Amino acid sequence: DIQMTQSPSTLSASVGDRVTITCRASQSVSRWLAWFQQKPGKAPKLLIYQASSLEIGVPSRFSGSGSGTEFTLTISSLQPDDFAVYYCQQYYGFPYTFGQGTKLEIK
């Protein structure tokens, strides 16, 4: 199975900050990488697919980059609504696998 490792596990930041979350795959997943946002008690929401494509309706302050084994999710200017848990996920091959999550907290 492809292992996905996110860093950091927890990130404390303030409204207006620029933040970056990193996701590393144990082998190449090409660009078949998605990012999700999850709020308490809610289903995950797709933000980014194919490493850098913004899902319809997602604010442009979210961006993704990378290919192969290293990927990043960047939020250019944090808004109050952005404090949540973020997951990366590879869909290069079965079984699909997720990172362990990054909790974005208010500083």
Partner 1 sequence: QVQLVQSGAEVKKPGASVKVSCKASGYTFTTLDLHWVRQAPGQGLEWMGWMNPNSGNTGYAQKFQGRVILTRDTSISTAYMELSSLTSADTAVYYCVRGRGAVACLDSWGQGTLLTVSS
> Where do contacts with partner 1 occur on this chain (CB under 8 A)?
32, 34, 36, 43-46, 49-50, 55, 87, 89, 91-92, 94-101
Q: At its nearest, how many Å lie between partner 1 and the CB of residue 38?
A: 8
Q: For partner 1, which is the closer residue by CB, 37 or 69?
A: 37
Residues 6+ apart with CB under 8 A from 10: 102, 103, 105
Q: At its nearest, how many Å lie between partner 1 and the CB of residue 16?
A: 28
Q: At its nearest, how many Å lie between partner 1 and the CB of residue 18?
A: 25
DSSP for 12-61, written as a single string: EE-TT--EEEEEEESS--TT-EEEEEE-TTS--EEEEETTTEEPTT--TT
Q: For partner 1, which is the closer residue by CB, 13 or 46?
A: 46
* Local structure of 77: helix, strand or coil: coil
* Local structure of 28: helix, strand or coil: coil
The count of residues in the chain is: 107
Q: At its nearest, how many Å lie between partner 1 and the CB of residue 92?
A: 8
Q: For partner 1, which is the closer residue by CB, 6 or 69?
A: 6
